[in-house]
Amino acid sequence: QQKKENIRSLTMSGHVGFESLPDQLVNRSIQQGFCFNILCVGETGIGKSTLIDTLFNTNFEDHESSHFYPHVRLKAQTYELQESNVRLKLTIVNTVGFGDQINKEESYQPIVDYIDAQFEAYLQEELKIKRCLFNYHDSRIHVCLYFISPTGHSLKTLDLLTMKNLDSKVNIIPVIAKADAISKTELQKFKIKLMSELVSNGVQIYQFPTDDETIAKINSSMNAHLPFAVVGSMDEVKVGNKMVKARQYPWGVVQVENENHCDFVKLREMLICTNMEDLREQTHSRHYELYRRCKLEELGFKDVGPENKPVRLQSTYYFSRSYNFRGKGLKKQETFSTLYLFKILKHEPPFKQSERILQAKFEHLKRVHHEERVKLEEKRRLLEEEMAAFSKKKATCEIFQNQSFLATGSKKDKDRKK
């Protein structure tokens, strides 16, 4: 604050020339050209390509997508546009197959990976020793047009999950596609419900800036109209004495550029005419800086040290280098452990073979012992049977002997009596 108070305002006595600086910037920017990258997220057939054609008043070559893709994939197409003497390199990134799968749990992950890949490519270009950012084609996504189905009820779970995972990586502008499918009363209630759900779920959508006095009023009023209800069409219909872009229905005509019919003009004004540069600036200063900071922190780079003192890049480099050496040492240790284990395993087959031979011998002896035991049991059984038979014979003989003895004794007695 003290430094600001010391700043003096001087009135120059003559012309110096630095007032031409804005003109120099404009001329240089026009010479270089501009780039603008739009990501269109929405279900197949919701009208993404038609709206882009209508926004830029150009028939972009785009083939109809099928509903039977097994995974979500992103298709990027770049076009060179020129209006007056201003050249624009426009990249349209379309989500093919989004929301068509039965299992939609990971439908948003390819989109997140694509955005991160563009940030990573720009970061790698920045970290090069010999950079070429002047001629580098910036492919970072500047705005995401999220197309919402005109159900009139509430957001789908897939919509909430996708926007929640994208809001920290890209500027999200939600639009209600095919807004002529529901009535104006239902549309107004649908808008209020959508914004309420976004706020309650903590989804951060892009807010048009109000810090510039020249556009603060219109941007603040446009923020109240979010999400925009749009209708796209490249067909021209005669209304009165002029041809207008519209959709022809049996009950009437929906004019695309009539603000009483839809918010297409508001979207085009905010997206292209008023806030295109702010979208580019927000992408670089907010979303890309967040990605860059997280990546550098993962590599060990810090602004301040333990004592809240600035950390030099060289110190961080030496720390990272020692960390890498330590990592290499751990890798070597793991390699030696693997080699040692390999050698043990290499000598293991002979031991295993000897073990199998001993086990086979043991099983053979065990089987022979069992067979001998069975034979002995059989011999014992036979011997016991023979002993039992002998005992029976012996008892029978003794009975016969006793009977013969008694018979001879009685015969002698009879002879004496006679």
- Which one has a higher pLDDT value, 151 or 134? 151
Give the pLDDT band (50/70/90) at residue 319.
Answer: low
Least confident of 166-170, 215-219, 242-246, 407-411: 407-411
Ranges of each domain in the chain? 27-299
Backbone angles phi, psi at 153, to 5 degrees: -105, -80
Tokens linked to 12: 């120059």
pLDDT for position 64 = 67
Q: Encode pLDDT of 72-108 as tens digits.
A: 889 999 999 988 888 999 999 999 888 877 777 778 9
213 pLDDT above the threshold of 70? yes
142 pLDDT above the threshold of 80? yes
Whole-number percent of the chain with pLDDT over 90: 38
CATH number of this structure's domain 27-299, picked from the four choices 3.40.50.80, 3.40.50.300, 3.40.50.2000, 3.30.160.20: 3.40.50.300
> How far apart are alpha carbons 55 and 53 in whole angstroms?
6
pLDDT for position 2 = 47
Give the pLDDT band (50/70/90) at residue 300.
Answer: confident
340 pLDDT above the threshold of 80? no
Distances (CA, A) of 279 to 45, 144, 206, 269, 299: 27, 10, 9, 13, 29
Q: Encode pLDDT of 52-72 as tens digits.
A: 999 998 888 766 666 667 788
pLDDT for position 92 = 94
- Which one has a higher pLDDT value, 25 or 207? 207
pLDDT for position 329 = 60
Q: Encode pLDDT of 27-52 as tens digits.
A: 888 888 889 999 999 998 898 999 99
**Is the sign of the CA dihedral 345, 346, 349, 355 positive or negative?**
negative
Average pLDDT, the chain: 84
Tokens linked to 338: 């693997």
Give the pLDDT band (50/70/90) at residue 206.
Answer: very high
Region 273-292: what's the mean pLDDT? 94
pLDDT for position 406 = 75
- Which one has a higher pLDDT value, 149 or 401? 149
317 pLDDT above the threshold of 80? no
**Is the sign of the CA dihedral 203, 206, 211, 216 positive or negative?**
negative
> How far apart are alpha carbons 260 and 286 in whole angstroms?
35
Angle between helices 157-166 and 109-126 (to 10 degrees): 10
159 pLDDT above the threshold of 60? yes
Whole-number percent of the chain with pLDDT over 70: 83
Q: Cβ of 417: how many Cβ atoms within 10 Å?
A: 5
Whose CA is closest to 162, among 233, 226, 105, 238?
105
Backbone angles phi, psi at 311, to 5 degrees: -100, 130
